[in-house]
């Protein structure tokens, strides 16, 4: 009798990978009394997100169209993460000398780096031009600086201009960059601005790109597409006025919002790409190269902040779990909880999912370690009742939460580890070591302790 062939096991879902990683992090000592908070990144999930992005746009652009997906470094300013994304075929969008240095340390090719910022210094511009990095100028004064630096030569760097299409904002004002008074780009609907932009391109044959970014979290896809359409129509007008295809590339920014209410990935890159095909078909017909600058949507779903409950107490009859993850990590969530709510998963001290007791879930607060009353990552949340030693997981935290540390109370940056399935369970790779107290002292001028008393 012939044996049935052994089938490959079904790949684990993102939730299953997360559950196994939490348990393994405890078993392998990444989390415990001495290291009470840690960041975990699902490498399988990150690779899948990058593949989905590439596939979504490959589906809608004409064959042979140059497409660069440049990851917004601010979303995860960690060299190993940037290296992983580089290996997955992505470039880097940077907005500071530090972010550029991180991208280069990760091995990103200068030709696949885009420099955006509303406040670039002459030194930053010179460095970008020397390296051949693409630059999107933000305003007329910056364009004048480029005039002086470029001179009569045609630069190696692709150079563009950022415009604000002023199509409106989303539900989070601070992340809406296409409002009437946004600080970014040339405001197209201001008096005389559009004519100035057309002249600016006509006078500079080396100005070959147009950049627009409507915003990010809280911006609906239709608003994003409207901003892209405005930039496309402007590019068509400029090229027609000049009489040649001077603008050859459109940088449409990023901004795909993330669903923070469940494990479902929605909206998807494919949904956005298809909306662009329906709204701005000329953008994708092969006449223009394309640059995107997605960040949060590539990483958010693949990250977990895992923190130990140090104490469980109550006040006014409400239970409070005091953990080591608060405003220093979840800064936006603590200060703007309605805009940045986070899902919370609970585990016992061994990393097993915490079960609800016979009386059902308990309404409780999840507090952080910072010394102010508002340091709450979840308030009045119905969860299995937590006890000291249990674990709290803040979900969807792969973007911004690890690399934008708020050093309140001189709390250390936690260690960050990537994880992936292995034949014997879960393998971890160090992304960033936990910050030591000695490093905090050094950062805070420890070597200059006598500096002021000597004055």
d(CA 331, CA 285): 42
Higher pLDDT, 178 or 94: 94
The pLDDT score that the predictor gives to residue 10 is 58
Beta-strand relationship, 37-42 and 415-422: parallel
* 32 contact partners, CB below 8 Å, separation of at least 6: 26, 308
4-8, 308-312, 357-361, 446-450: least confidently modelled range: 4-8
What is the CB neighbour count within 10 angstroms for residue 212? 29
Burial of 166 (0-12, 13-18, 19+ CB in 10 A): buried
Average pLDDT over residues 308-331: 97
Does the pLDDT of residue 20 top 70, yes or no? yes
Q: Which band of pLDDT confidence, cut at 50, 70 and 90, is reported for residue 46?
A: very high
Average pLDDT over residues 302-329: 97
> pLDDT by residue (tens digit) across 363-377?
999 999 999 999 999
Average pLDDT over residues 265-269: 96
> Which DSSP string corresponds to 17-57?
HHHHHHHHHHHTTSSSSSS-EEEEEEHHHHHHHHHHHHHHH
* Cβ–Cβ < 8 Å for 386, 365: no
3-state SS class at 79: helix
Per-residue DSSP letter, 4: P
* 414 contact partners, CB below 8 Å, separation of at least 6: 35, 37, 38, 39, 305, 329, 434, 435
């Amino acid at each position: 009798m012939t044996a049935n062939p052994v089938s490959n096991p079904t790949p684990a879902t993102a939730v299953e990978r997360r559950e196994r990683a939490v348990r393994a992090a405890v078993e392998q000592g990444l989390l415990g009394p001495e290291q009470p908070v840690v960041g975990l990144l699902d490498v399988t999930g990150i690779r899948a997100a990058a593949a989905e992005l590439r596939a979504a746009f490959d589906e809608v652009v004409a064959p042979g169209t140059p497409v660069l997906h440049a990851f917004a470094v601010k979303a995860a300013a960690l060299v190993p993460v940037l290296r992983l994304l580089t290996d997955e075929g992505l470039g880097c969008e940077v907005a500071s000398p530090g972010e550029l240095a991180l991208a280069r340390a990760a091995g990103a090719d200068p030709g696949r780096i885009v420099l955006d910022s509303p406040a670039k210094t002459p030194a930053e511009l010179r460095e970008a031009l020397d390296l051949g990095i693409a630059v999107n100028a933000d305003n007329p004064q910056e364009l004048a600086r480029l005039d002086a630096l470029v001179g009569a030569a045609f630069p190696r760097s692709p150079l563009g201009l950022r415009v604000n299409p002023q199509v409106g904002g989303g539900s989070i004002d601070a992340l809406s960059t296409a409002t009437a008074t946004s600080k970014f780009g040339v405001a197209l609907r201001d008096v005389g601005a559009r004519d100035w932009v057309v002249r600016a391109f006509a006078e500079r044959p080396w100005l070959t790109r147009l950049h627009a970014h409507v915003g990010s979290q809280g911006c609906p896809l239709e608003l994003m597409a409207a901003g892209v359409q405005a930039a496309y129509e402007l590019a068509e007008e400029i090229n027609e006025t000049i009489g040649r295809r001077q603008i050859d590339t459109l940088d449409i920014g990023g901004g795909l919002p993330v669903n923070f209410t469940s494990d479902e990935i929605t909206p998807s890159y494919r949904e956005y790409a298809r909306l662009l095909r329906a709204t701005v078909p000329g953008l994708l017909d092969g006449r223009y190269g394309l640059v995107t600058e997605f960040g949060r949507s590539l990483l958010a779903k693949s990250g977990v902040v895992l923190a130990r409950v140090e104490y469980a107490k109550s006040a006014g009859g409400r239970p409070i779990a005091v953990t080591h993850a608060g405003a220093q990590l979840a800064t936006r969530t603590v200060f703007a909880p309605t805009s940045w709510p986070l899902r919370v998963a609970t585990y016992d001290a061994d990393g097993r999912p915490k079960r609800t007791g016979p009386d059902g879930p308990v309404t409780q607060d999840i507090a952080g370690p910072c010394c102010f009353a508002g340091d709450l990552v979840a308030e009045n949340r119905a969860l299995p009742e937590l006890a000291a030693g249990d674990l709290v997981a803040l979900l969807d935290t792969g973007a911004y939460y690890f690399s934008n540390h708020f050093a309140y109370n001189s709390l250390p940056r936690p260690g960050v580890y990537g994880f992936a399935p292995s034949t014997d369970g879960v393998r971890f790779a160090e992304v960033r070591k936990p910050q030591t107290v000695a490093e905090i002292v050094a950062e805070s001028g420890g070597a200059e302790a006598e500096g002021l008393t000597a004055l």
